[in-house]
Amino acid sequence: MADTAARLYLITPVLEDASFAPRLAEACGTGTIAAVLLRLAFADERGLTNQVKALAPLAQEHGAAVLVSVEGKADLANVATRGGADGVHVPGDPARVRDLRDRLKSERAIGVGAIRTKDDAMMLGEAGADYLLFGEPRPDGSLPSLESVVERASWWAEIFETPCVAYAPSLDTVEALAATNAEFVALGNAVWSHPDGPAAALKAAAEILERQEASR
């Protein structure tokens, strides 16, 4: 169980190239983010590596870890290592997690999402995942109910030592998800679609977490 307030985990849209850099820099410049997931569209390995090299430092220079996922098949271990990322993020597949753990050793983190059941979550934790992400949008864009994500994150945070991330589809849900004792609250579209810009959204989320920590 977390002893301190949750930290923010930022998820980008699926990126075709490095043109997203200014928006990412604005978000990371708030200094409120613990980790960033770069979601990359499928490309050849050199192109993916170059994207990571261009984007990762924008987060890392502000103290955020950078993880990489790719839409489609790619050698994530190579892309992360050569691009200078801090880790990789994959859908829930224990065999793939074990393979990545063998290749990356303890040098880079492995995060896992798209987790369907509690049994799957436990298998992924045993396979060597460094964190589990609950509640992110499904491939069709739909979302699990807030109640189900709160229940799953609370269950995991209470029983297991491996950190978990709870996805917040809106700023209004940050408080409830942080109350689960999840180590991280993830934000995606709620940041990028905010009418006042990414920095304003992240500052508002950080204030919610600060208030919650102060009330503990």
Mean per-residue pLDDT, 81-87? 98
Q: What percent of the chain lies above the pLDDT cut of 90? A: 93
Euclidean distance between CA atoms 191 and 201, whole angstroms: 5
Nearest C-alpha neighbor of 206 from the set 7, 62, 4, 2: 7
Mean pLDDT of 109-125: 97
> Tokens at residue 116, please?
């369907």
Please write the tens of the pLDDT for every residue from 19-49: 999 999 999 999 999 999 999 999 999 999 9
Cβ-based neighbours of 62, under 8 Å, separated by 6 or more: 28, 29, 31, 33
Per-residue pLDDT averaged across 69-87, rounded? 96
Domains and CATH numbers, the chain: 7-214 (3.20.20.70)
Distance CA 137, CA 167 (A): 8
Closest CA to 162 of 135, 125, 127, 120: 125
Do 129 and 112 contact (CB within 8 A), yes or no?
A: yes
Mean pLDDT, the chain, integer: 95
pLDDT number for residue 146: 97
Whether residue 1 has pLDDT greater than 50 = no
Q: One-letter amino acid identity for 29?
A: G
CA distance 36 to 109: 12
The answer on pLDDT for 201 being more than 50 is yes
Cα–Cα distance for residue pair 31/172, rounded to 1 Å: 21
| Whether residue 215 has pLDDT greater than 90 | no
What percent of the chain is predicted at pLDDT more than 70? 99
* Reported confidence tier of residue 3, pLDDT bands at 50, 70, 90: low
Q: Is the pTM of this model over 0.85?
A: yes
pLDDT value of residue 6: 95
* 51 CB burial (10 A radius; 0-12, 13-18, 19+): buried
Report helix, strand or coil for 206: helix
Among residues 132, 97, 137, the alpha carbon closest in space to that of 113 is found at: 132
> By the 8 A CB rule, do 50 and 76 touch?
no
Region 92-112: mean pLDDT is 96
